[in-house]
Structure 1
């Protein structure tokens, strides 16, 4: 059985009794019921997910996965693709916003190169874990961005990193990603999953002008047409 299937099989339903117990504990405190608002909801959810009515917390951790996107070739970003590798360096060196936030809150930070176009693994950056699937994805205007095998491998990299962080004592893990043109495939996926029109989802990313946004909408629209047609053909 693959690591992905093992992981899916190991996921248990949330423990509502743990959530109720945590809620009872919150309501026993000297404060008006529900006065901590969203924080109380998060505590209940945390207890339910972890099956732990004591809501005991361990260390926090942040995992940032960095990779390039082939659709950058279509001019959908305000910045060139070479910025990705510089951001990889900066995040690991502690100069990025997420690096500062992790330090401020005492969270460990794990930076993972999953497929940056410029391969620095021969002379690795300090603080970077190299788990490269390839030199970025393919341009999904020209075909699938990733093969099924690449997709499986990428998902399992995420699982392995989460397990490493959990084994080190983390009970809260924040997950992020970086890669020039990343909001274009994100928008395309969200459109495909929800049926919402690209015009309502596509944004300016890192600072596109109006013409750039129009171009990005056109790219996402075309991508959806191409891949919906490919799926329909495969089903026929």
Structure 2
């Protein structure tokens, strides 16, 4: 608990002096005022995050937090739990969607075993970052998914991994893998945003109408059985969360304490971001919402965080794909701030008022 407490205490808001300096420069760039819109908003945030009008975002890392969910046994996904291991193996083979898009963005990918139930083999067994809390969570339709101590352990594991990469990374990205994790995310979002299970629960792996109704009922059951306390994010995380979602929350808290930007992927990552924000509201200053997921509860979760996503591409994969795509825009925002000329520098006449 000491690491978590120290991390929470270290998180403060963006640097307002750097934001003001960036605003002055952006106001004078050779274009109609704020003509690049949200790219310029992003540049302003990056200056505030880094405390500099020349932020650096070249070294990028997407951390894939992986863990299994006991609730998967209730049939909430079209895929079996063995797919978690198989997909983690594919990350190490470099053939998953996140790998492909991360390469395009010039980002590295690392995988953290937060609570995989199965056994990794070959290179994956050696290269995975080992932070396993347990072999999957318990089925939250029967009781808490994890103990409060396990929730803290998983949060601190996410912080530790982020701190371990502090000297090598300028820009972090979130990602996850774990069959059943949209179900846990739906329960977290419902609890923390005050939504019904139906409003927070989507089709996940591509469920049909009948399967979706069953998933909603399972989320309702989990919330009814556990009665998570919205004012206590650790209680919500422990009762209906997942180890990888806790790892993502810890990663976000760790990045904020390090004053480094972190690109938040889709619905599951945003559930982790909600937990982090409820523990340390100032950490939202360091989050960059990558994209708008097709999952039903994502818009409400983003609204609770006060975030507008950069992209809307009808993504519903998760696994870091949205974070990888958005990293290109982060670099673009820095380039506008640091490389584009002002009217004075380019000797260009300004518009008449």
TM-score normalized by the length of structure 1: 0.91
In structure 2, the partner of 1:37 is 37
C-alpha contact 1:92 1:125 (8 A) present in aligned 2: no
- Unaligned 5+ runs, structure 1: 232-236
Query: Partner of 1:84: helix, strand, or coil?
Result: helix
Shift of 1:56: 3.2
- Is 1:176 the counterpart of 2:175? The answer is yes
Matches of 1:101 and 1:164, distance apart in 2: 24
More deviation, 130-139/8-17: 8-17
C-alpha distance in structure 1 between counterparts of 2:144 and 2:90, whole Å? 30
CA contact (8 A) 2:141 2:221 kept: yes
Give me the whole-angstrom Cα distance separating, in 2, the residues matched to 1:136 and 1:160.
Answer: 20
**Structure 1 229/187 Cα, relative in aligned 2: closer, same or farther at 3 Å?**
closer
Aligned counterpart, 1:51? 51
Structure 2: how far apart are the matches of 1:37 and 1:199? 35
Distance in 1 (CA, whole Å) between partners of 2:80 and 2:35 is 47
Greater mean deviation of Cα atoms: 21-30 or 107-116: 21-30
Question: More displaced, 75-84 or 14-23?
Answer: 14-23
**Alpha-carbon distance, 1:117 to partner:** 0.6
Q: Structure 1 residues 35 and 230 mapped into 2: Cα distance closer, same or farther (>3 Å)?
A: closer
Instruction: State the 1:5 CA deviation.
Output: 0.9
Per the alignment, residue 141 of structure 1 pairs with: 141
Q: 1:21 and 1:123, CA in 2 relative to 1: closer, same or farther beyond 3 A?
A: closer
1:127 Cα offset (Å): 3.7
What is the alpha-carbon distance in structure 1 between the residues aligned to residue 229 and residue 74 of structure 2?
21
Which residue of the partner structure matches residue 281 of structure 2? none
**Alignment match, 2:100:** 100
Written as runs of structure 1 = structure 2, the 5 A alignment for 1:71-220 is: 71-120=71-120, 124-125=124-125, 127-168=127-168, 170-220=169-219
Point out the more displaced range, 116-125 or 34-43: 116-125
SS of the residue 1:32 aligns to? coil
Normalized against structure 2, the TM-score is what? 0.62
192 and 179 in structure 1: CA distance in 2 versus 1, 3 angstrom threshold: same
Could you say what secondary structure the match of 1:118 adopts?
coil
Q: Deviations over 1:99-121 (max 9, x none)?
A: 11111111111111111111337
Q: Is the 8 A contact 1:141 1:222 kept in 2?
A: yes
Q: Contact 2:89–2:120 (CA<8 Å) still a contact in 1?
A: no
**Preserved CA contact (<8 Å) 2:71 2:141:** yes
Q: Distance in 2 between matches of 1:102 and 1:23?
A: 30
> Which residue does the alignment assign to 1:64?
64
Q: CA deviation at 1:63?
A: 0.5
Matched residues in 1 for 2:28 and 2:200: separation? 43
Give SS of 1:33's match. coil
**CA shift digits 1:174-231 (9 cap, x unpaired):** 0111100100010001000111112122111011111110000001111111122899
Q: CA deviation at 1:36?
A: 1.3
Q: Any idea what SS the aligned residue of 2:60 has?
A: strand
For 1:192 and 1:48, the matched residues in 2 are separated by: 31
CA displacement 1:141-171 (0-9 Å, x = unmatched)? 1111011121111111111121122221x12
How many equivalent pairs are there?
A: 231
